[in-house]
Amino acid sequence: MSLSGDDQAVSTRNLTRKFGSFTAVDQVTMDIGRGEICGFLGPNGAGKTTTIRMLCGILAPTSGSGSVLGYDIFRESEQIKKHLGYMSQKFSLYEDLSVRENLDFYSALYEIPGRDRSGRIAEMVAMAGLAGRERELVANLSGGWKQRLALGCAIVARPSIIFLDEPTSGVSPTSRRHFFNIIQGLANQGITVIVATHFMDEAERCGKIAFISNGRLLALDSPDRLKATALDGWLVELEVAGGVNRIGDIEALPYVRECSLHGPLLHVLLESESRMASLEGFIGVAPRPITPSLEDVFIALAKRSRVAAGTDGV
Ligand SMILES: Nc1ncnc2c1ncn2[C@@H]1O[C@H](COP(=O)(O)OP(=O)(O)OP(=O)(O)O)[C@@H](O)[C@H]1O
Ligand SMILES: [Mg+2]
């Protein structure tokens, strides 16, 4: 029995995965506590899914080390699989089976003892808000319901940790919020949740965020701490007509770290507060200081990593 007493649900050191000569996950070192919700955020191709697959014991790492729930990801992946729930990016429900039949199928797959099955299934049906619709064919459910049912299938065996890979892409904002409420309820019960997402509003609701770009972990911290510490400079917004056409000019200024478009506004990261007057002189509009959003943090971190990798502007 190697389930250690430490309180880390996930712990990795220099975890790396190569595909041929391409490094998809590059020396990722992270600790995620039990009962935490950790969001994996990063551009397409950043390495989120590859990291999740290694942590789930589905994909062998090339090098480095890691444990999930105290089990070694190299040697004890079978133990890990017994304690986790996984909802993949293309989650698999059987469209031509009913709600109940899908849950039956996953209960059998996870080898839930027969005497416990109907109770567990009823719990999942209630969690997904599908009571009374057990006989409906999955094909007839809308996206949000399918996602909640897929979550139910993933956690019917009461895992200690769940990995959700972009579980809410393609559903309405209301369904996404509802789904996240369920996730938060699970975390409140002590279940660790790792969730890859592209949505900043979901990231805001995570206790911790892992920013991943080009296979590297750029930051791992709470949303508030990231906003307070991750930006190196003074952030302002500008209301400029035709702002999108001015980004290049503004970024070329020596005291500007970066400039990006946010709806109709430009966000400009200055090297310091004292540069506000210079920027106003250049653009002819008064800049307004703003508190960074997670998106600002993300843009700044991603840019820093491109500069470090020598690929900025490519
Ligand atoms: N089996 C594989 N063989 C070769 N390359 C792979 C394989 N799996 C993933 N990759 C590559 O590794 C990189 C990381 O992919 P990954 O799917 O982990 O990214 P991601 O962050 O999950 O992206 P997305 O947000 O689009 O889901 C990509 O460049 C991808 O093409
Ligand atoms: Mg992915």
75 lines ligand 1 (CB under 6 A): no
Digit-coded pLDDT (tens) for 228-279: 888 889 999 999 988 889 999 999 999 999 899 988 899 999 999 999 999 9
CA-nearest residue for atom 12, ligand 1, is 24
pTM for this model (two decimals): 0.89
- CA 193 / ligand 2 centre spacing (Å): 16
Could you check whether 8-221 and 228-309 share the same CATH topology? no
Residue 306 backbone dihedrals phi, psi, to 5 degrees: -70, -40
Digit-coded pLDDT (tens) for 149-174: 999 999 999 999 999 999 888 888 88
Secondary structure letter of residue 98 according to DSSP: B
Task: From 59, 19, 10, select the one nearest 38 (Cα to Cα).
Answer: 10
Q: What angle do CA 228, 234, 240 make, to 5 degrees?
A: 125
CATH topology of domain 228-309: Alpha-Beta Plaits (3.30.70)
Sheet order of strands, 192-196 included = 84-87, 161-165, 192-196, 37-41, 208-213, 216-221
Q: Rounded distance, CA 56 to CA 51, Å?
A: 9
**Nearest ligand atom owner, CA of 44:** 1
CA-nearest residue for atom 31, ligand 1, is 45
Strand partners of residue 98 = 137
45 lines ligand 1 (CB under 6 A): yes
Strand stretches in 137-295, DSSP E: 161-165, 192-196, 208-213, 216-221, 234-238, 256-262, 265-270, 288-289
- The whole-number pLDDT of residue 313 equals 57
- CA 95 / ligand 1 centre spacing (Å): 27
Q: Which is the CATH superfamily of the domain at 8-221? A: P-loop containing nucleotide triphosphate hydrolases (3.40.50.300)
* Substitution site in 23, 48, 166, 202 for ligand 1 pocket (most atoms within 8 Å of beta carbon): 48
21 lines ligand 1 (CB under 6 A): no
* Substitution site in 50, 164, 197, 216 for ligand 1 pocket (most atoms within 8 Å of beta carbon): 50
Query: What are the domain boundaries of the chain?
Result: 8-221, 228-309
Digit-coded pLDDT (tens) for 120-160: 999 999 999 999 999 999 999 988 899 999 999 999 999 99
